[in-house]
Structures are given as structure tokens and as C-alpha cells.
Amino acid sequence: MIGDLPPGTVAVIFHSVRRADGGDGAGADADGYAAMADAMEALAAQQPGYLGVRSARDAHTGEGITVSYWRDDASARAWKAVAEHLEAQRRGRDEWYAEYDVVVAEVIRAYGSG
């Protein structure tokens, strides 16, 4: 669990649809995609202001959502500019995503069961 997030936390909401590679929703270059996703999650966790991430993908449709949480907008913007992340973004546009969108939002309140 990420836990309670303080007001002012920035949530970067990344929604995507993977390119199909035969109808199973895994998309083109599933192994390369998975490796890059794991590498980006590990790298993001090392960045100043990182608070956590949640991610889910429908294996049938290839539709997914990842929400990363940052202490503030400056931290989220700094992550967007990390060289390895820029390369992952380029590969996403060129190789992996049929479509995507990003929403950056400020948390007003957050709570959970655990």
C-alpha cells in the first residue's frame, strides 16, 4: 500500500493501450516492454520526491493505467526529464503504444483500508 498521501501530492496518471501482436493484448515486444517497465519503476523509486506507484493492465485488451505519486510538481517534472525515462517514452510512442494519454493531478485527500 502507498498509504495516506499528503495534500499537494502530485499524481501522474498514465493511461495506455498496447499495440496488438496477434490479439492476446500482450502487444509488440512484450519481453522488452516488461523489462523497460520494471527498469522505469526501479529508477523512479530512486528519484527525489517519489512516493510510490500503482499499475494495472488488462491482459486481454492491452489497456493499462499507471499512477505515480510525487511530493510536488517539480519532482514529477524532474522525473519526466530523466534521460532513461525520455528513452522509455520514445520507445513507447514508437514501438509499444497504440494510444496513450497523461493527466497530472493534485491530491486533495487520500485514504485507504490498510
Instruction: Report the pLDDT value the prediction gives residue 6, as an integer from 0 to 100.
Output: 86
Residue 28: predicted pLDDT:
63
Model pTM score: 0.87
pLDDT of residue 111: 82
Please list the ranges in the chain whose pLDDT falls under 70.
Answer: 1, 21-28, 114
Give the closest residue to 103 by CA, choosing from 11, 22, 37: 11
pLDDT over 70, % of the chain: 91
CATH of domain 10-106: 3.30.70.100
- Domains of the chain, residue spans: 10-106
DSSP 41-102: HHHHHTSTTEEEEEEEE-TTT-EEEEEEEESSHHHHHHHHT-HHHHHHHHHIIIIIEEEEEE
